[in-house]
């Protein structure tokens, strides 16, 4: 069982729609951001999550490289649940909002 979390600085749509876009690799509904990149910070703390953080710097399934500043989608195994609150706190500290598809709730300050 896995747990998904998605974060972004700004986007066009409600949180659920933006999550669906991120999950589909669609980044044009998200605004580019100069805020600190959460993927970099997540991987600094938890390098073992390298294959669990999207978008990838190069995704062979997409025609064009992703703009890594627009959103971050993190997939954790249920056994890594202790990291969820820390990742949410990190994203909020970086000024991001997000979505938890397990609960259907937006994540915001």
Q: Which domains does the chain have, with CATH numbers?
A: 2-107 (3.30.70)
What's the CA angle centered on 28, arms 14 and 98, to 5 degrees? 40
- How large is the greatest C-alpha to C-alpha distance in the chain, in angstroms? 35
Cβ atoms < 10 Å from Cβ of 32: 12
Tell me how far apart the alpha carbons of residues 84 and 97 are, in angstroms, rounded to a whole number: 14
Q: What is the predicted pLDDT for the residue at 27?
A: 85
Q: Is the pTM of this model over 0.75?
A: yes
Going residue by residue through the chain (109 aa), what tens digit of pLDDT does each one get?
899 999 999 999 999 999 999 998 888 899 887 765 777 878 888 888 888 988 766 555 655 546 667 888 999 988 888 899 999 998 999 889 999 999 999 999 8
pLDDT at 97: 93
């Amino acid at each position: 069982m896995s747990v998904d979390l998605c974060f972004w600085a700004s986007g066009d749509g409600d949180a659920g729609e933006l999550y669906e876009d991120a999950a589909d690799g669609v980044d044009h509904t998200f605004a580019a951001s100069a805020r600190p990149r959460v993927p970099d910070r997540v991987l600094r703390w938890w390098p073992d999550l390298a294959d669990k953080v999207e978008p990838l710097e190069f995704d062979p399934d997409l025609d064009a490289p992703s703009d890594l500043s627009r959103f971050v989608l993190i997939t954790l195994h249920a056994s890594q649940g202790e990291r969820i609150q820390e990742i949410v706190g990190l994203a909020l500290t970086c000024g991001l909002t997000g979505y938890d598809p397990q609960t259907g709730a937006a994540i915001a300050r």
